[in-house]
Amino acid sequence: MTERRSSESGFPIKAVYDATDVPGGLPERLGAPGEFPYTRGVYPTMYTSRPWTMRQYAGFGTATESNARYHQLLRAGTAGLSVAFDLPTQMGYDSDDPIAHGEVGKVGVAIDSIEDMRLLFDGIPLDQVSTSMTINAPGSVLLLLYQLVAEEAGIAGTALKGTIQNDILKEYIARGTYIFPPKPSLRLVADTFAYCRAEVPRWNTISISGYHMAEAGATPVQEIAFTLANGIQYVRAALDAGLAVDDFAPRLSFFFVARTTLLEEVAKFRAARRIWARLMRDEFGATDPKSWMLRFHTQTAGVQLTAQQPEVNLVRVAVQGLGAVLGGTQSLHTNSFDEAIALPTEKAARLALRTQQVLAHETDLTATVDPFAGSYVVEAMTDEIEAAATALMDRVAGYGSAVEAIEAGFQKREIETSAYRIAQQIDAGERVVVGLNRFAVDEEEPYEPLRVDPAIEAAQAERLAKLRAGRDAGAVERALTDLRTAAGGSSNVLYPMKDALRARATVGEVCGTLREVWGAYRPNDAF
C-alpha cells in the first residue's frame, strides 16, 4: 500500500489531483499576473523582463573584512548587498560593553559608529546598489548611519535603495533581539515610516519577516499567518500615527523562507499574496494598487542544512531556491553549503550565488510568467493554506491584536509545539534528513571552516576609545539630550537621532538614551 504523505502544515497530500480539488474553476479566480489579487505574481511580466534580485547575506568580523567580501560578491555578479550584523549591534550595545564580550563580530559585522559604517561601504557606489540590512530593534539607527555615509559621498537620500528589516514584533515571537517594549518599538517603526517617506522615499522601511519564525519551527501556515498578522499591526500603528495608508503601504515588504517542500512553498507564496491584497484593499481601504502588492524577499532554509555531509546542502539550497523562484519572489538569498558549520567561506558564498545564476540563466524559468498556474495540486494547496492561515489570523485577532497575542505567548506556544513535533519525527526517523538519520557515512571528510579572530573585540574597543577621545563631547551630549526629549514627547525621533550619529555618538549611546526613556523589554517567562 502506498504511504500517505502530509504537507508541512498538516494537509494530506493526495496521489492524484484533478479539477474537483479546485472548486470554482481557475481562470477568473486566478486573475492575471500583476493584477489583483496577485496570486500569479505582483508584476505582469515577472522574470521575463528581468530576473529577481540576487542577494547574498554577508557580514563578519570587522567592517573592513566584510567590505572585502562585498566587493568579491559584486565582482561575482550579485545585484544587491545584504548585511549581517553581530549580536551586540543587533541588541544596541557597543563592542566594548561588558555584555558584548565574546560576541563581537561572531555572527555578523560589528558596527559601533559612523566610522565603522564608512569602512563597511568603502568604495561601493551606494546610489547604484540596493542594500538590505538585517537589523530590527536598532534598524533606524543603522539606516541613518548608512544615509550619513552616502551624504558624505555626495549621494542624496532620494537616490538610496534598499531595505531595513525593522520588524520588531517577530523578535518577541522567535528571535529575541529586542530592546524596548512593544509600544515604543512600534512608535519607532512608525517614525521610520514617516522619516523615510520624506527623506529616503525609495527605501523599503520594513521587511515583515516570517523567516525567523519558520527557522524556529513554524509551519508554512503559521509562517504566513503570524507574519501577516504582524503586518496588520504595523499598518495600524502607522495609521494611528497619522499616516495615510497609501503613503506608506507601497514601501512595505516581506521576508519568507523557502523550504525543500517545493510544492507547498510555491502555494504558500501564492496564498500570502492573495490574503494581503484583500486585507489592504478591503479592510484598510488602500486605493493604490502598489499598496495591495505583497512584495517579498526569500532566503533558503538554514534550519534544514546539516553539518553532516555538508556538500548535500548544495542540493537542498538549489531546490529551495527553485521553490522561491516558482513562487514569484522579488529577491533571493541562497545559503552557503557550510553554514551549518560556521560562517561561509568565500568559495561557499560564491557557489551559493552561482546556484541562483544557474536558475536564472540556464533554465527556462525566466521564459514564462507563473509556470505553475492552473496546476491542480498547487491551486488546491494554495486554497488550503489560505483558508488555514486566515483562520489562524482570526485566532490572533481574538486576543485583540498581534501585540496582545504576543504578550499572551500565543504565537510562541504554537511555533514551539510545531518545532517539538518536527524534532520527534526526525528522532523517530519518520522525517528523513539525508545524511543525518538516513544515508549517513561512517566518517566525515575534514572541512576547514571560516573562523573569526577573537582579537577583533579588543580592536573594536580600541577604535571606540579613539573615537570618544577625538570627538566633541559637548556636541554629542547636546544631541543625545535632544534625542531624549524627543523620545519623551511625540516628535519624530529619527531627526535628533541622525544629529547625534553625525556628531559621532555610538550605536550603544543612542540605544542607551532610548532605553533610559522607554525602558527595556523583559519577557513574561510564564509562557
Give the SS3 label for residue 208.
strand
Q: What percent of the chain has pLDDT over 70?
A: 98
pLDDT of residue 31: 82
506 & 423 share domain: no
Provide the b/e sequence for 220-255 (b: ≥16 CB within 10 Å): bbbbbbbbbbbbbbbbbbbeebebebbebbbbbbbb
Say how far apart CA 91 and CA 107 lie, in whole Å.
13
Question: If residue 267 lies in a helix (H) or strand (E), which one and from where to where?
Answer: helix 262-278
| Residue where a domain terminates, one of 378, 408, 428 | 428
- Tens digit of pLDDT for each residue in 184-211? 999 999 999 999 999 999 999 999 999 9
- Contact (CB, 8 A) for 206 and 167: yes
- Tens digit of pLDDT for each residue in 400-417? 999 999 999 999 999 999
pLDDT of residue 451: 75
Say how far apart CA 324 and CA 284 lie, in whole Å.
28
Residue type, 77: G
Question: If residue 133 lies in a helix (H) or strand (E), which one and from where to where?
Answer: strand 130-134
- Contact (CB, 8 A) for 247 and 198: no
- Contact (CB, 8 A) for 297 and 263: no
- pLDDT over threshold 70, residue 2: no
Say how far apart CA 115 and CA 138 lie, in whole Å.
17
Mean pLDDT of the chain: 93
Alpha helices in 31-181 (DSSP H): 63-76, 87-90, 114-120, 139-152, 169-170
307 & 418 share domain: yes
421 & 481 share domain: no
Q: Hey, what's the cell of 469? A: 577621545
Give the SS3 label for residue 227.
helix
- pLDDT over threshold 50, residue 527: no
Q: At what angle do helices 312-326 and 262-278 cross, to 10 degrees?
A: 30
- pLDDT over threshold 80, residue 353: yes
pLDDT of residue 526: 44
- Tens digit of pLDDT for each residue in 150-177? 999 999 999 999 999 999 999 999 989 9
399 & 488 share domain: no
Q: Quick one: three-class SS letters along 513-524? A: HHHHHHCCCCCC
Residue type, 217: G
Confidence of residue 426 (pLDDT cuts 50, 70, 90): very high
- Tens digit of pLDDT for each residue in 468-518? 999 999 999 999 999 999 999 999 999 999 999 999 999 999 999 999 999
Which residue range forms the structural domain that includes residue 500?
456-518
Confidence of residue 525 (pLDDT cuts 50, 70, 90): low
207 & 336 share domain: yes
**Residue 451 belongs to some domain of the structure:** no
**Residue 524 belongs to some domain of the structure:** no
CA neighbours within 13 Å on the CB side: how many for 472?
11
**Residue 466 belongs to some domain of the structure:** yes
503 & 395 share domain: no
Total count of domains within the chain:
2
User: The domain that contains 287 carries what CATH number?
Assistant: 3.20.20.240
**Residue 175 belongs to some domain of the structure:** yes
Q: Calculate mean pLDDT across residues 421-434.
A: 95
318 & 386 share domain: yes
104: left (phi over 0), alpha (psi -120 to 50) or beta: beta
**Residue 441 belongs to some domain of the structure:** no
- pLDDT over threshold 50, residue 93: yes
Q: Quick one: three-class SS letters along 452-499? A: CCCCHHHHHHHHHHHHHHHCCHHHHHHHHHHHHHHHHCCCCCHHHHHH
**Residue 489 belongs to some domain of the structure:** yes
**Residue 433 belongs to some domain of the structure:** no
Say how far apart CA 19 and CA 308 lie, in whole Å.
42
233 & 303 share domain: yes
Verdict on whether the full-model pTM lies above 0.85: yes
386 & 481 share domain: no
Say how far apart CA 118 and CA 148 lie, in whole Å.
9
**Residue 449 belongs to some domain of the structure:** no
- Tens digit of pLDDT for each residue in 117-150? 999 999 999 999 999 999 999 999 999 999 999 9
pLDDT of residue 29: 66
Which segment of 56-65, 80-89, 251-260, 309-318 scores lowest on mean pLDDT?
Answer: 56-65
- Contact (CB, 8 A) for 507 and 141: yes
460 & 325 share domain: no
pLDDT of residue 225: 98
410 & 463 share domain: no
338 & 224 share domain: yes
Give the SS3 label for residue 106.
coil
Which segment of 223-232, 284-293, 432-441, 486-495 scores lowest on mean pLDDT?
Answer: 432-441
